[in-house]
Chain A
Amino acid sequence: MMTNMKNYTQNTFQNKEQNIHRLSTPLTEEKIKNLKAGDTVYLSGTIISARDAAHKRIVESIISGKKLPVNLKNSTIFYAGPSPTPPGKKSGSIGPTTASRMDSLTEPLLKEGLKAMIGKGRRSKEVVDLLKKYKAVYLVAVGGISAYLSTKVKSIKTIAYDDLGPEAIYEIEIENFPLFVAYDIYGGDIFESALLVE
């Protein structure tokens, strides 16, 4: 009983400490410097999607000096491959894919000015360090609640790499899209701090 009480108090306290930020894109260093791992973010504005195959092409273009199909300066990338939009709806189901698969392809995009990534799950130690170095954040969306998240999308369209189907680059207009700060620009890590609570 005592243990339960203790956990409950700690949890309530921890959740009170959590800050809520309402932010609009483009996310700049000024806007993300107040974000701490564990905070909640409701994000609005334009973001782009890019996952495995799109990342491979973007990185190949950066290496060979080709023009990129999207401007990455102060951009927010959603690691996502949406389901097709049914007629009469603003978006099909949409949600985060596992971010760690993009770990080895992240630095070239950060060099181009990428400021925020949205995905799910832990990433490598290298990414935590890269985010400190380039002053960028990793946000997590809840995975597997994609019908719910689609209600936070105002519009969605492909803007590059159409031939990749669900892996194309989409431009997505979001409104109050619910996110948690997973890694901040100071090395904070939600997955580590979450474990300390219980």
Chain B
Amino acid sequence: MKSIKITTITEEVRKLLIKANFNLPEDVTEAIRNAAREEKSCRAREILELILENAEIASKQKLPLCQDCGLVYIDLDIGRDICIEESGNLSDLLNQTVAETYNNNYLRKSVVSDPLYERKNTSGNIPAIIHTGFTQDSYLHLKVCLKGGGSENCSFLYMLEPSASEDDIIALILDEVKKNVTKSCPPVIIGVGIGGSSSEVTRLARIASFRNLEVRNSDNRYKRLEEKILNEVNKTGIGPQGLGGRTTALACNIEHAPCHIASLPLAVFFGCHSTRRADSKISPP
């Protein structure tokens, strides 16, 4: 057994939260830069350039990229034979770290305690949504994702019939894009989950929407579907912020999984252009 101290993990979470709030990931910056070069509409180009300028101001002045500092997701992919020391209250300690980091760095606290009745702000942007998983790697892979409310509200789930085709999926996604995408701060990253179950497919869509933009699905059929969806979405002309242009989406990322003989679950997560994520690999000493 190789151990990693819980304090090593919480310290790393603190650093990742700060990095994600103040710095646009390099792959997203590059995608926006490329889109700005290819845009024909002046207004769309102007908006894309403002997004790049915003990223510079945010990292230089330590101001959050977006006032909505998101709901925090923390994923811990625990490698082979790795044990977390003093992990009795792992989620309490992670939440304590989130609250301290949000309060000490002037980040917006956007979580309410009770969803239906009191809706009272918890004042620490907690609880975070924490997932643990196990891998065959020699390290612990720590991932932090921040999800804003505007784009989150445009997520959707369909339980399709197994006879549904690729074209049915493209049509459904296009329909949702036309109805809702202007509310999710386009250019968006379309995260698509296909397969699994109703609960698993939404997790897949979330993971897809936060996947590095340079990574494509390893199955050529799904890779081609990613390209088809992106192409169709960008043909709508909706553009950055819905104000016209070619760049409605920066990417479409699909994650797929086996599913029940009776089902074909489909979930879509719209990620806003202010995609905030950071990760780090912690090896035991």
Contacts and interface: CB of A to CB of B under 8 A. Distances in A.
Interface in A126-181: 140, 142-148, 150-151, 164-167, 180
A57 B121 CA distance: 16
A148 B40 contact: no
Contacts of B259: none
B108 A144 contact: no
A194 B243 contact: yes
A198 B41 contact: yes
B243 A166 contact: no
Contact of A93 (B47, B63, B183): B63
Nearest to B108: A83
Contacts of A166: 67, 108-110, 121
A82 B108 CA distance: 7
B41 A142 contact: no
A148 B57 contact: yes
B35 to A, nearest CB: 14
Interface residues of A, number: 50
B157 interface: no
User: How many interface residues does chain B have, given as a range?
Assistant: 35 or more
B64 A92 contact: yes
A104 interface: no
A100 interface: yes
B50 A142 contact: yes
B244 A195 contact: yes
Contacts of A86: 62-63, 106
B247 to A, nearest CB: 11
Nearest to A193: B244
A8 B41 CA distance: 8
Contacts of A151: 57
Contact of B47 (A89, A92, A142): A142
A147 B41 contact: no
Nearest to B187: A144
A5 to B, nearest CB: 10
Given A92-B64, A95-B67, A166-B110, A143 B243 contact: no
Interface string B61-91: 1111111110000000000000000000000
Contact of A194 (B53, B149, B153, B242): B242
Interface string A55-94: 0000000000000000000000000111111100100111
Contacts of B182: 120-122, 191
Interface string B262-281: 00000000001110000000
B245 interface: yes
A7 interface: yes
B106 A92 contact: yes
B237 A140 contact: no
12 contacts: A11-B41, A11-B42, A82-B67, A82-B108, A83-B106, A97-B150, A120-B150, A143-B66, A144-B274, A180-B43, A191-B243, A198-B246
Given A122-B242, A143-B66, 6 more contacts: A89-B61, A92-B63, A95-B68, A146-B65, A147-B61, A198-B246
